[in-house]
Amino acid sequence: MKFFKIIFLFIAITTTGIAISSCGNNSSSKTEKQSKEYSSAYICPMHCEGSGSDKEGKCPVCGMDYVKNENHKAEGKNEESHDGHDHDDQEGHNH
């Protein structure tokens, strides 16, 4: 009988853990990361709502200096991936 109680407790804890961890809505966080405070050329390190700019400056919410967004894709630029190679000493290599 003690064995069954231990098994039941283990299953209950595991099920509860899985249920809690799956409650997060991943689609909203993906949409959130596409907003201005994540996608601008210059962003607030705290990603304050409504922050982000195409120019250097300060966050209007917290006052921190904007930092250059390394993940920013400027309009009109080729967004083809260049991961895994460089363009040094590659004559005739065009993108």
Q: What is the pLDDT of residue 37?
A: 82
pLDDT at 87 over 70: no
Q: What is the pLDDT of residue 64?
A: 93
CA distances to 21, 71, 81 from 59, in Å: 33, 18, 30
Selection from 21, 68, 64 nearest residue 40 by Cα = 68
pLDDT tier for residue 15 given thresholds of 50, 70 and 90 = confident
Q: Where are the domains of the chain?
A: 30-72
pLDDT tier for residue 71 given thresholds of 50, 70 and 90 = confident
